Each structure stands twice: as structure tokens, then as C-alpha cells.
Structure 1
Amino acid sequence: MMLTRHLLDNKTFSFSRMCFLVKCLKRLKSSQQWLSRQKADPYVEKAKIYNYRCRSAFKLLEMNEKTNILTPGLTVVDLGASPGSWTQVAVQKTNADGADPTKPRGSVLSIDKLQIFPIEGATIMSNMDFSTIDAHDKVVEALGGKKVDVVLSDMAPSATGVKELDKDRIIGLCYMAIRFAALVSRIDGNLLFKVWDGKEVPILEMDLERFYKNIKILKPKASRSESSEKFILARGFRGIQRPLENGRWG
């Protein structure tokens, strides 16, 4: 009996060790593929040259070139901003750092659960969940009564490897961004956020049409061809109906 149990324990141990080794090999292969892709990616090198924190800066630069949603003097909030490349672009395009004294000076506020190292011209709120009431109150306070012209979001959840679950999670982030934008945006303000392609996207677009005048799908060249990501630009915020004291809706 003891010998049988010993053999079973050894088999179990061997099987567990084999599974562990297989997982390690998969991770090693994935890491090697990622490194190879990074070396071959021209946007990675460009990010270093232009001092952007990551290659995603060029996605926003390209989309802004086509849509012109970021201009000097605007107030911008960047959700899930870490490490801060979209914030860097927003600061440059809105003149939030005052680099050009001949143009209006905008303002950029960036928020993330993770740490964001300082960026000149931006107000940084690290280690903060934008979906909470506390975060919303702090954002409103930091804005000093100003309404927001543009809400940006390049957020995506950490991949679990389960395709449907990952899609559900990013859709959840999208709706959080929409809700936040509705609470802080001025009338005719804009919202730009990332989503992964799927059957939920048309429903998301229909929901956005209730609050925005125009919805457009964007796929910048800087977005990798094998990636299912795309961006939704919602323009012309209509506002939200709020009950007034006399019982009528505004």
C-alpha cells in the first residue's frame, strides 16, 4: 500500500513538474516573440527618438491628425493613463505646458490605478480608480469648475487568455469611461476610447448615439495589424437629462 502511494505521489509530482516546464516554455516562447516584435517595430524606435514613454503615442498622434480633437486651450482628461504617452501627446497638442506663448494654454489631467511619473504640464493622479465616487470628486475639484473638452482612454484589462472573458472586461471599462465622460464633459465635448472588435461593439455604438451626435471607428496604422483593437471616437456630447427641483427634466 505504501509503495503504491509512493509511486502515485511520484507520478503526480512528475506530471506537475512537466506541466510547470510546459508553461515555462510557452512563456519563454511568448517572451521571445514579443522581443522580436519589439525590435522589428519602427514605432518602438520612434518612441525613443521623440522621448515618448511608449509606442501608443503614435496611435493618438495619427488619430488626432485625422480628427483634430486636440487643439491648444482644451481641457483633457486621460483615463488609465499609465505610463503616460497619451498624456504627453495631449500636453503637446493642447499647449498645457505653455510651450507656445502665442497659443491658448490648455490643461491635462491624468488618472490611473498604477503609478504615473510626473509629466510637465499635466496634473497626475496616480493610484486612483477613476470609477469611484471619491476619484470623481477629486477630479472635479482639480478641474476647478471647468468642464472637460476631451476624455481619452487607451485602457485595456490584463489578458486572462480567455477570449470572451477578456472582451467582456474591456467592454466593462468602456462603459465606465462613457459614464465618467457623461459626468464631466461639456456640451459638444468628445470621447475617444479603445475597444476590442466583437459582437458587443455595435451595441456599444448604439448606446453612444444616445449621448453623442457622431460616432466614428478608427484603426490607426500604429495599431498592430494582428491586434483586434480599434478606437471609437464619439463627438458632440448632447448632455444628460437631470431632474430639476420643479419635477421637470433638463
Structure 2
Amino acid sequence: MKLWLTALLLCLSSPLIAAECREQTYKDNRYVVCDVDLASEDLRLFLKDDADEVHGYFSSLNSALKENGERLGFAMNAGMYHDDRAPVGLYLENGKQEQRVITSDGPGNFGLLPNGVFCIGENRADVIEARKFVKRTPQCIYASQSGPMLVIDGYLHPRFLIDSTSRYIRNGVGTSADGRNATFAISRNTVTFHEFGTFYRDVLKTPNALFFDGNISRLYAPDIGSYGVGWNKLGPIVGTVIPAE
């Protein structure tokens, strides 16, 4: 009886559910949106395995997790990286820092300030503008810096153009004001920054949202038949972890 009760309590106290993913359309653009409740789900960032090799693929990460009796529930690429897959900006995994935060402007989307940091703490997650992050020094267990910000305190990034012709498959993350929910989205068709940011602001209604990538955007969500297969290796990966079946 005691053994049965202990097992039941462990099940009730452990995150056993994967993120809920759904298809959504807004102004003729199609998206997949995945919601993560930080109070009940185990959300982590991943870059390298125990041999210091970059995971690179969702399948490789799943193989590594399997050794601990775990698997991915949902995952996507989570920030920009160099040719060797090293993160461009701040990267923190299980308390260990791989790269420092960068607050200066520069080339490319990452340098299109303001950029931001996705911070996973104890039972919460936040998207924080990078310069505010430096001033606040929040307690992050995991963190990934990327850019540009899509939504900043309820406002679109000031440099997004409504008539832009730059269109890509894009993915990102937004967080609720209380930090309890993280909402990940990836477009099914090519979209502009303005369209993607507006989707986060007006539909998903996250006060802060961060762009992850627009060239190599992939989603692992087997519940909706998406496995994120691709030739090129990924850098940082964010995902929920659940017990292996």
C-alpha cells in the first residue's frame, strides 16, 4: 500500500504532460502555436551532450534523453548561432554559462536592437529586453539570447515595417506577464517581422515576445505530426521533457 501511494504521489508531482500545440490562422498566415505551463511542465534548453558535442537535431537530443528515461514532448530551435553552432549571445544551460550577454548593436537580426533574452527560472519563464536583463540580473536556470524582440511591453519593435518584403518561415516565443506561460509559435508560410510581431501582440497577447530565427526554423511536435527533420544542424534547442514511454 505504501509503495503504491508513493508511486502515485510521484506521478502527481512530476510534469507528465507535453505542450499543447495547435494550428492557427491570422490574416491569411498560418501558424503552429504551442503553449507551455511552467507550473506543470518541464521546460529546458539544450546545446551539447555529455561528450561536449552539439546535439544539432531533435532525434539526437531524443537519443540522449532516452538514456535517462526521458523524451521530448515538444521542441524548437531557440536562438541564433555561429557556424560552429556556438550561441551568438547569452546562453545558460542548467546554471552553466556558455556565452555572455551582448547589448551592443550590430549586423543581422540579432543586432537589430532591442534584442532580448528568454529566461527559464523556477516555475516561470520570461522574455526580457537585453539591456533590462543586465540591470535586473534575474535568476535564470536556462537562458538564450536572440533578436530582435517582437513585442516589447505591449508594443511592436519600432523598426518593423508594415510594407516589408522580407519574408521567411519564422519562429519565436512570448511569455505572460506573470511568467507562468510561455507561448511558442512558428509560421507555416513565410511572414514578415511586422506580421509575426502583430500575431504575438494582437492574437497571442503576450506583453513580451522574442524572435528565434527565420532561416532555419523547425518544430518538433509529434502530436500534430511535426518532427522537424532537416539537413542543417541546429544550435540551441528549447523543449519540454516528459517520461519515455
The interval holding the TM-score normalised by the smaller chain is under 0.3
Q: Which has the higher strand share?
A: 2
TM-score, L = length of structure 1: 0.25
Q: Which has the higher contact order (CA 8 A, sep 6+)?
A: 2
- Structure with higher Rg: it is 1
